[in-house]
């Protein structure tokens, strides 16, 4: 479609949401008729459509499919953080410490770069087929991870595993929109929020338990025991309308330049974020080169979709439509805030409260409880009012307030205060979680919901990595400055404390220990201010977006 056809007003957008329910042409209505029903001015109000009816599923079949999809989502979510507690043991076994960070980075990079590809290709080959492909790839990658005999083999197996996980995560969110009316999607996204909440807490715990009491290989073998359930359910029960276009025709016009340049730009950007401030200085030529490569490849990508591509990887109007741009910018900020908090809150608990690695992971439970409160509330607002942007606003304002209060955290902060703030922070995050995705989905025509969903998830994933990378840089720089002012510490002490927070209580006592803990707490405040800035920016971006009302 031409860019001119999709101006910012998108006159059919409100109708597109209702048209998504149209697996049958007869259900397509005019914009005026749809709006009349929404406003209650029509005498003939349609009976609410049962979940799964769009795809010809019975209610029982629908819930079986939802269980299967969420099993896949659960394992994908677990693999984001189950490896972290096991990494030191894995490094010791393979006698390889310098590349251990790539156990996480390799997974995240491949996860991010395949997201737009899966959602685009699912329009050609079908959601079900691509989900099955991603699940099989994930299972193979997990098997190779568990059987790895070297660090290099394990890292590349994690890359393969991430390529499968990206397909599972991206397509679950798209498939849900294919199964239920769009205004009710938030109710079912609450189940995925529950899955992520469970995984965020259980992942580090399971990783620590497997590594300490069995073998780290079970961090991956667990996927082989459970993931086939998701695969079998999908094969047997999931039925979706087949794409209505000729596959060969779509393949002929597919945007191969975009399929190379966008992943290439993604890899360059994520490498720069992973290396900068950690492996190399931000001013290092390799980091700058990666940033430059990302800009160059993304420029080629944009020129191609505006000037040459017949069937672009992403529609050109995505980059001129204020709602799409604003929501993706807000999603980037949300991802940076969400993962930044989840990564560093446990570290604060370990440093200030003296928690073990396992117990500090449990410290995230209040935030997850809050998320599970906020998400259903937001879903009900969307379902009843037919609007999703309002959830971003009220949820975002709660996030801003809580992050502002968290910037005050120090060595005198009580555990009770931390728990209360994290619960309310989670409530805000839960409201925003589905609000961003739904606002983007209702702003595009139904045939482009898949690629819009993939882009939103991609933006969040890049934000995840960016948030942790910049938080780490601010934290470490301030920490080194603060520690260098403690006369009792040698250069070796400072290096040890920076790399191993457990050395604080193990190697130091009395006033020196108190000063070191205080230095860490004050250094973390730099990161908390960053999280506050991301939350505030998210709210501002969301205000720019237009709310297209659901039918």
- pLDDT, tens digit, 9 for 90 and up, residues 213-264: 888 899 999 999 999 999 999 999 988 877 776 777 777 878 899 889 988 9
DSSP reduced 3-state for 280 = strand
Q: Give the chain's residues under pLDDT 50.
A: 1-45
Nearest one of 462, 349, 337 to 399, comparing CA atoms? 337
Cα gap 289→292, rounded to integer Å: 5
Taking a C-beta distance cutoff of 8 angstroms, is the pair 441, 319 a contact? no
Cα gap 57→39, rounded to integer Å: 30
Instruction: Tell whether the torsion through CA atoms of 121, 127, 132 and 135 is positive or negative.
Output: positive
Nearest one of 471, 242, 441 to 335, comparing CA atoms? 471
Cα gap 474→484, rounded to integer Å: 16
Cα gap 538→186, rounded to integer Å: 20
Beta bridge partners of 276: 280
Number of neighbouring beta carbons within 10 Å of residue 285: 10
* Matching fold, domains 54-244 and 315-551: yes
pLDDT digits (tens, 9 = 90+) for 412-441: 999 999 999 999 999 999 999 888 988 888
Nearest one of 132, 125, 144 to 168, comparing CA atoms? 132
Cα gap 343→499, rounded to integer Å: 16
Nearest one of 488, 474, 456 to 522, comparing CA atoms? 474
Tokens of 212: 């300490």
pLDDT given for residue 252 in this prediction: 80
CATH number of 54-244: 1.20.1250.20
Q: How far is CA 498 from CA 376, 469, 523, in A?
A: 40, 16, 11
Compute the CA torsion angle 43, 46, 47, 51 (nearest 10 deg). -160
pLDDT given for residue 405 in this prediction: 97
Beta bridge partners of 254: 311
Cα gap 235→228, rounded to integer Å: 10
| Residues 315-551, CATH architecture | Up-down Bundle (1.20)
DSSP reduced 3-state for 524 = helix
Nearest one of 241, 242, 229 to 66, comparing CA atoms? 229
Angle at 175 between CA 171 and CA 178, to 5 degrees: 145
Angle at 174 between CA 35 and CA 111, to 5 degrees: 145
Taking a C-beta distance cutoff of 8 angstroms, is the pair 434, 189 a contact? yes
Q: Which residues contact 86 (CB under 8 A, 6 or more apart)?
A: 207, 208, 210, 211, 216, 219
Instruction: Tell whether the torsion through CA atoms of 502, 508, 514 and 516 is positive or negative.
Output: negative
Compute the CA torsion angle 110, 201, 477, 466 (nearest 10 deg). 30
Angle at 83 between CA 80 and CA 88, to 5 degrees: 145
DSSP 310: S
Cα gap 209→213, rounded to integer Å: 6
DSSP reduced 3-state for 276 = strand
Q: Which residues contact 314 (CB under 8 A, 6 or more apart)?
A: 116, 120, 258, 262, 305, 451, 455
Q: How far is CA 219 from CA 59, 101, 105, 198, 417, in A?
A: 34, 16, 17, 16, 34
Cα gap 174→441, rounded to integer Å: 10
Residue ranges of domains in the chain: 54-244, 255-310, 315-551
pLDDT digits (tens, 9 = 90+) for 136-166: 999 999 999 999 999 889 999 999 999 999 9
Cα gap 545→439, rounded to integer Å: 8
pLDDT digits (tens, 9 = 90+) for 256-277: 998 899 889 988 988 888 788 7
Nearest one of 343, 318, 340 to 329, comparing CA atoms? 318
Number of neighbouring beta carbons within 10 Å of residue 174: 24
Percent of the chain with pLDDT over 70: 88
Tokens of 349: 């608990």
pLDDT given for residue 228 in this prediction: 94
Taking a C-beta distance cutoff of 8 angstroms, is the pair 457, 169 a contact? yes
DSSP reduced 3-state for 254 = strand
DSSP 311: B
Q: How far is CA 510 from CA 30, 142, 259, 264, 488, in A?
A: 74, 46, 58, 51, 12
């Amino acid at each position: 479609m031409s860019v001119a056809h999709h101006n910012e007003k998108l006159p059919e957008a409100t109708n597109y949401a209702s048209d998504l329910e149209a697996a049958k042409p007869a259900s397509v209505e005019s914009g005026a008729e749809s709006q009349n029903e929404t406003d209650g001015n029509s005498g003939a109000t349609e009976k609410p459509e049962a979940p799964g009816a769009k795809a010809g599923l019975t209610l029982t079949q629908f819930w079986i499919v939802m269980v299967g999809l969420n099993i896949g989502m659960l394992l994908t979510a677990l693999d984001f953080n189950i490896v972290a507690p096991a990494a030191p043991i894995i490094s010791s076994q393979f006698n390889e410490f310098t590349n251990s960070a790539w156990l996480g980075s390799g997974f995240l990079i491949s996860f991010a770069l395949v997201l737009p590809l899966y959602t685009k290709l699912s329009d050609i080959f079908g959601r079900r087929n691509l989900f099955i492909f991603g699940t099989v790839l994930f299972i193979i990658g997990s098997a190779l991870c568990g059987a790895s005999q070297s660090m290099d083999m394990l890292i590349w197996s994690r890359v393969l595993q991430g390529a499968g996980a990206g397909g599972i995560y991206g397509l679950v969110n798209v498939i849900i929109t294919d199964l239920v009316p769009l205004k009710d999607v938030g109710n079912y996204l609450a189940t995925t929020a529950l899955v992520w909440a469970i995984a965020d807490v259980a992942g580090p715990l399971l990783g620590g338990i497997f590594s300490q009491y069995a073998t780290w290989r079970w961090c991956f073998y667990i996927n082989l025991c459970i993931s086939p359930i998701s695969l079998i359910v999908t094969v047997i029960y999931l039925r979706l309308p087949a794409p209505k276009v000729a596959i060969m025709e779509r393949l002929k016009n597919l945007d191969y330049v975009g399929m190379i340049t966008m992943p290439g730009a993604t890899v360059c950007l994520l490498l720069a974020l992973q290396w900068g401030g950690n492996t190399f200085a931000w001013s290092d030529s390799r980091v700058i080169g990666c940033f430059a490569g990302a800009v160059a490849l993304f420029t080629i990508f944009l020129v191609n979709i505006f000037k040459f591509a017949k069937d672009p990887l992403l529609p050109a109007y995505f980059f001129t439509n204020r709602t799409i741009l604003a929501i993706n910018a807000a999603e980037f900020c949300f991802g940076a805030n969400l993962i930044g908090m989840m990564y560093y809150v446990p570290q604060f608990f370990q440093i200030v409260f003296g928690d073990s690695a396992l117990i500090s992971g449990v410290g995230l439970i209040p935030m997850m409880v809050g998320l599970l409160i906020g998400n259903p509330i937001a879903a009900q607002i969307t379902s009843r009012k037919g609007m999703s942007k309002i959830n971003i606003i009220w949820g975002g304002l709660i996030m801003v307030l809580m992050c502002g209060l968290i910037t005050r955290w120090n060595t005198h902060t009580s555990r009770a205060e931390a728990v209360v703030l994290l619960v309310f922070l989670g409530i805000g995050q839960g409201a925003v979680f589905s609000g961003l995705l739904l606002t983007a989905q209702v702003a595009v025509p139904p045939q482009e919901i898949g690629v819009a969903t993939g882009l939103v998830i991609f933006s969040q994933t890049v934000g995840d990595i960016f948030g942790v990378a910049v938080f780490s840089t601010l934290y470490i720089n301030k920490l080194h400055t603060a520690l260098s002012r403690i006369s009792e510490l040698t250069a070796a002490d400072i290096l040890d404390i920076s790399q191993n927070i457990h050395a604080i209580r193990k190697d130091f006592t009395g006033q020196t220990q108190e000063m070191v803990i205080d230095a860490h707490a004050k250094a973390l405040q730099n990161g908390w201010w960053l999280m506050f800035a991301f939350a505030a920016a998210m709210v501002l971006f969301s205000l720019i977006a237009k709310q297209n009302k659901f039918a």
